[in-house]
Structure 1
């Protein structure tokens, strides 16, 4: 698509002047490099030095001045920036890695003001005549004199007080020079390190989402404050510099006696600060221009590229881009697409426009060492990030309270893009396992929250980080999939294309998207919806939770109510819709598809849903709607009878649905627990992955609740009986484990069969794991274990074994050259049964030379999944909460899952009291982006206590009688 950004005459002149001046000031950048961090910050009343650690206050904070608010005033609008950065990849005499830089931002005054408020955090700004910035004007603009300037730590602002007011309609230039630390905190402009041929290599890389661009240079760091960015990077001559735009030129020069390269990049499109990326490394790339002559490059460590670990990503990227261009009816808006695999990266990947950053596990794939799961992860993560190039980057939501639409959309269409690239995988069905059921688990809690929150509920950086959660991603994906299903995909795509082309390079609110879907409906014959798109979708986005639809096939009565996992929990969040939804119900009667039915009221009568004789009703076919379904007891019996006699009469996805719905309805006391358990009896005849995965996840809850009680023996005996036929089936079709099944999902189910069989004690399984692992230990240079099975084999062999097996895994982990192999070993080492080994492993998470910072919290969670490791991990987290919080609590997207992970087995009153005491004892430290997760952990623990008390005896009796 053509560029729609307009450059006025005065602004164009300013760009030229600043461009010429940029190189002239490069020499000045080195002046501050050897100085200590500047301490000469001007501080009026109430302002603080941002180098100090804040002490939590018990006094409520009341915002009095404009700089006390977290949101920027609406008086200034940035137009473009010139940013020059010089990262130093060698430490200074104090052992610190630093970067210097300067920035000029041209902004327009749209509302009269005598204040310039701009984000700046943890930067030391060089002063000009005692002030932290220099102000000039463009054209005829009269430039006010700076009266004073200071930093506000709480809101992360640089405030510049002027002696007179800026003029509405005029443009000005704010120039700053700064010094920052290239820390290893995975935020802003940061440092990543790795070993290559025995030599430590250092990378300067970046992560700006959500609020970290301000750590790199002073900027208007809000998504609606879009601008054009002209970037220059100074770097050593043996490195390459990358940014969002394509490189214009690289010149070699000498600055302050240091030989360097200076790389300039083409101006970006109009974009948000959180999508900026700056990288300096000695990585190499492979590239292609096969897709519409677009330059596509995959960057990684030299060894990874030499080992062809980037080839799959390169091959799949062109296909996925092609899909999105057709799907959106909009060409890729940039001149290049760079994707880079980083050794240290907090998130899975980040959709920086034109320069997408990834964890190595999300981009690199080795056809000889990687598993099918690794391959799928690469395809789906690339698909997710490329989806954002249009939805999120080209058109951006106004504020973080609507993050769900950005991330939920990418989480939905990633399945479509990956399905186009790999059509034999049948991957679209997996959304119910990986997103819908994941969202249900959180959204069934009284402490859930709506998809779209009010702007005033999302202000500070911790609240923004907290939005990057299961509700935003997985519920968002599920609700948008439901919308696409009831509109039909062609109508959905038409509305989407109209939205993207209308708002290109601008910002929107979620209702803008509903308007364009509405237009698509009105312009398409035969599409029926019972109300406007906005009204229908508001029921799903502005209130939390989801309905359970109950159908009585004796009367035709159909009703809905808010589904809560603990029906006794109190929902104190009001709903303008009184927790009712407009529910699109696709259904079938005795195997025949019926016309879609819309449930609009609490209770209605649909006579077509009455049945006679052996007829049965199944609602929510293919689980297209975001709701659960309950039936009268007779219809449940007919469905369970159908499963036991002819399970293939129902689709794979609906077999999984029956299992998942019954188990969760039982937890909510809507049906008997024994009815849910009966849904698993047919599994001895089931060979498909999705129903088995659904069953194992739900039985996994029973294992978590009972693996420390007398119930576990009976449960283990029952599941052993059910899994044995699947284990034998795969043993047969793989010729006694000598080959791998051909089907994508069959390969996953083979892993389920072996892993469950070993856990439940199927004869011969553990011996098989031990023998394969022993063969590897005896010949470390030749691993005989198929990549698909490595994770399962490593875990069970380490669990069976002792220190010798663990230490071998640690050695292999440290020597691994493929990130996904290292990740498998890191997970498997948490399977050990010796407490001292697990405690040693937990201590390793405090040492970044042993466990990378990006992997620390997930490693603790791995240990907590082990029944032996759970109390050890809980004690570890409690004892070191202050350190863990300081390292990860304020911005890490994965931090919230640490709390939910270590508390997932909690089911006793004693554990509940410990959890409450943990909250009380650490209020002075805080919980940051895990605040909501802690409340949910308390709620889940209460529900678990109740459930175990009420069901333990029944469950023990049922498993005992069913074995």
Structure 2
């Protein structure tokens, strides 16, 4: 643990008095929440809720009162929010350093009428791609009104009636629909008095092709025929596209769901089937009643599927649904799921509350997976394993995704965030907990080391931009909500939870999780509810510490210097914190964090000799028994969410520990990535990171090499704008020489999982560098693969496909397309399509882009095919032009959402000139798309950062690389 309880006495900024005040204020806040839930929702909609971080220096205790106004029925009320006690940190969230995306007008639904129970019946027609629906909603009218407002979008409302005690049927005098607000309003001729009613609505809609709401997913059946499944995807705000409802996470209700479908089709929903009825040409499926839950978790699937099943150790029925004829491909996910459920039951000390859980593979699916309660939907590539054709890295990924979605059954489903501002409570926690369970099930994955490269570093890379956002960010309009499904909510959320877990220890963390889940099960929460539970469990100032990480944008850089103590008995370390900005400029606002700091030394690299909290601008710590030639490592295990900047002398002492690997893998990784961040920010020369990279020539760890590969990719893209691109490739080949010779091409008997992953990584890197021997061997193996055999192992295919395309021509390209068209496993199609951009021929790159938009490529995969082109020097201009030329088509296809934001990122971030920054900025000023504003700002910022980096360092890099010419 970072901090023992006694540290309360020693911390200059956290006195006993402050602790008492914080605990008292938390108690008052909780009381206020429970007394004023409807009014609090109203206050939240006006964007004034939350513990706001004060604008003063980090010196004192402050109190903030949020006030909001909201129409409640026909009266306007002033709503007083929560009185919040906090340390007055240095930034006011609402006052960002940069121009933030324009806030769209938005109001949450009125709280005069609330739903209690839905009876929902859907009849999808997969020939006409339409559906009929009826919903009967038991509602509670809390205040006299003549209007009922709820969410509805892209629906035709045919009939509305309001019943009380099943006798009085009042018809609305007016029905108004607002596509902009995504609402329907029913105005009645007489006032509706407080009480219980039933709202009856019949409606129709389209089974659309946009992968949201109730949509159609195309697949090829065993007879080779094109068929369709009807699938729902409601998160975050698309239940309203399927049925009129109160489509906000806090407006929970129970559901009786009915599906009326053609015979011989599977019909699935959240709960088990209660009864079926033969209606002649159709079959009626009635499902058991759900627990009280949010609308975004409602789910239904209709189509042709096989399944495998088993029961978990605690008796839950688990089924994995696959395309017909492929049920054996569900066995791995079934094995993982049946083990994950009892693991989570034990870890949280709360059983999974439903009688069954289904995991189903969907052909067309925008996200990786969706945690619908009891019916979890997945992309095929995130669920299905073919032992002959699935790579080790894909199998590992599937284990993580299954772990993530099942974690949501507790975090998100059982306990749900009150509003999307607190999305990270769902996604950050699931992204952390998935690693806990996979580490338990597959210790050979060394998954926590991979966490740092795949989760932690990705979060740092985004959060150092001035156009980042806090973990808790005010959102309202659905397009704003879509934008925060990003590396901040997921990866930064998971990273700060990992830091917190280390700070309070696993025992208190588990105890706090149980307190949180038990107290709030079937309810909604704010972030402060979680801090309260963890603080009660650990008796540590969790709320005070963690609010600095969730309510502020960005993270600190901790600058450390050392000198001998005056008496010569130890080393005096001085720590200074500042906000880390990738542009290297000092932030305009005086940021401050409460930073758990730890230190290890060469005497025992795995032991923390210092654990404290840096809660001031600067502090000093004495470390004993460091030899004169020994090293000191800050942030051992790369757990704290911050960058470390050493003095040149301290860094120099660490380099031998990289060579001889006495520095553990996570620290070798963290040391390099921190220095690379300093390079990007202009705090040191790129030459310094090139020199440090040479210390990694004998590296053997997969995750360290994965991080090195990411750095080499970024440097390669940058230097592709210069004349030293080829000499940098020679530098890379020299760096990779030893590890490539050690691994070779063929898997050894009993080989470690991570060596298998490393071989694919290294060969893929060498193929990208046009390494002659790699391309020659890849071409030979590929010829045998498409000829008489043997087939390429799945773990080598991505590298091999890229290698032959790098050296190939149109015949090679056509052969790849033939392989793509004959592939039966979507993972194989995905591998091939992502490799196509490796070709150097600009004419072929144009064909790749056209192929990306063809019907042969699923919409969710299009962006990755375009990305494969945009990542290359000859392809980035082509991809950007293609993106502009096909803007209207892309907007129609994705209608906003995170797939479009990813495409914006991929097609803009590799430029490196002010001219291109202006061009990108102007294009999106003229072509607005809700939900992409922040991503556009980040892209333009990245282009300018690249340009500044080139101007600053290109000459020094070229001089250093001359020896590799």
Match of 1:12 in 2: none
1:553–1:611 CA contact under 8 A, matched in 2: no
Match of 1:904 in 2: 909
Shift in Å at residue 670 of structure 1?
2.3
1:692 paired with 2:692, answer no
2:825 pairs, out of 806, 818, 822, with: 818
Matches within 5 A, 1:649-728: 649-728=662-741
After superposition, the C-alpha distances for 1:479-512 in whole angstroms (9 at most, x for unaligned) are: 1110001111111111011110111111111100
1:446–1:570 CA contact under 8 A, matched in 2: no
1:539 paired with 2:548, answer yes
2:851 pairs, out of 844, 849, 854, with: 844
After superposition, the C-alpha distances for 1:186-227 in whole angstroms (9 at most, x for unaligned) are: 110011111122211111111011111111111000000100
Separation of aligned partners in 2, 1:115 and 1:480: 43
Shift in Å at residue 642 of structure 1?
2.8
Separation of aligned partners in 2, 1:677 and 1:831: 25
Quick one: structure 1 residues 562 and 290, their matched pair in 2 at CA, closer, same or farther if it must change by over 3 Å? closer
Separation of aligned partners in 2, 1:245 and 1:738: 44
Match of 1:954 in 2: 956
Match of 2:752 in 1: 743
1:556–1:610 CA contact under 8 A, matched in 2: no
After superposition, the C-alpha distances for 1:611-662 in whole angstroms (9 at most, x for unaligned) are: 6621221011101110111111110111123323x2x211111001111011
1:482 paired with 2:482, answer no
1:186 paired with 2:218, answer no
Consecutive unaligned residues in structure 1, runs of 5 or more: 1-59, 92-96, 128-132, 523-528
Separation of aligned partners in 1, 2:354 and 2:179: 36
Shift in Å at residue 823 of structure 1?
0.7
Determine helix, strand or coil for the equivalent of 1:686.
coil
Quick one: structure 1 residues 546 and 160, their matched pair in 2 at CA, closer, same or farther if it must change by over 3 Å? same
After superposition, the C-alpha distances for 1:490-535 in whole angstroms (9 at most, x for unaligned) are: 111110111101111111111001000011013xxxxxx4xx2111
1:398–1:508 CA contact under 8 A, matched in 2: yes
Match of 2:559 in 1: 550
Determine helix, strand or coil for the equivalent of 2:325.
helix
Match of 2:342 in 1: 322
2:161–2:199 CA contact under 8 A, matched in 1: yes
1:496 paired with 2:533, answer no
Shift in Å at residue 101 of structure 1?
1.2
2:151 pairs, out of 115, 119, 135, with: 119
Match of 1:41 in 2: none
Separation of aligned partners in 1, 2:102 and 2:904: 27
Match of 2:121 in 1: 84
1:350 pairs, out of 366, 370, 379, with: 370
1:741–1:747 CA contact under 8 A, matched in 2: no
Determine helix, strand or coil for the equivalent of 1:623.
coil
Shift in Å at residue 946 of structure 1?
0.7
> How many residues of Structure 1 are paired with residues of Structure 2 in the alignment?
853
Shift in Å at residue 69 of structure 1?
4.2
Determine helix, strand or coil for the equivalent of 2:472.
coil
1:271 paired with 2:293, answer yes
1:491–1:520 CA contact under 8 A, matched in 2: yes
1:177 pairs, out of 195, 202, 212, with: 202
Match of 1:214 in 2: 240
1:385 paired with 2:409, answer no
2:630 pairs, out of 615, 631, 653, with: 615
Separation of aligned partners in 2, 1:69 and 1:696: 44
1:363 paired with 2:383, answer yes
Match of 1:135 in 2: 162
Shift in Å at residue 250 of structure 1?
1.6
Matches within 5 A, 1:363-512: 363-454=383-474, 458-512=475-529
2:123–2:259 CA contact under 8 A, matched in 1: yes
Match of 2:182 in 1: 156
Which is further off, 435-444 or 904-913?
904-913
Quick one: structure 1 residues 741 and 961, their matched pair in 2 at CA, closer, same or farther if it must change by over 3 Å? farther
1:549–1:561 CA contact under 8 A, matched in 2: yes
Matches within 5 A, 1:936-951: 936-951=938-953
Separation of aligned partners in 2, 1:435 and 1:290: 29
Match of 2:257 in 1: 231
Shift in Å at residue 347 of structure 1?
0.4
Quick one: structure 1 residues 138 and 567, their matched pair in 2 at CA, closer, same or farther if it must change by over 3 Å? farther
Tell me the TM-score normalised to structure 1 length.
0.86
Which is further off, 811-820 or 275-284?
811-820
Shift in Å at residue 917 of structure 1?
2.4
Match of 2:918 in 1: 913
Separation of aligned partners in 2, 1:463 and 1:397: 17
Match of 1:597 in 2: 612
Shift in Å at residue 570 of structure 1?
6.0
Separation of aligned partners in 2, 1:62 and 1:675: 42
1:356–1:385 CA contact under 8 A, matched in 2: yes
Shift in Å at residue 912 of structure 1?
1.8
Quick one: structure 1 residues 609 and 185, their matched pair in 2 at CA, closer, same or farther if it must change by over 3 Å? farther
Consecutive unaligned residues in structure 2, runs of 5 or more: 1-100, 564-571
Shift in Å at residue 685 of structure 1?
1.1
2:599 pairs, out of 575, 587, 609, with: 587
1:730 paired with 2:743, answer yes
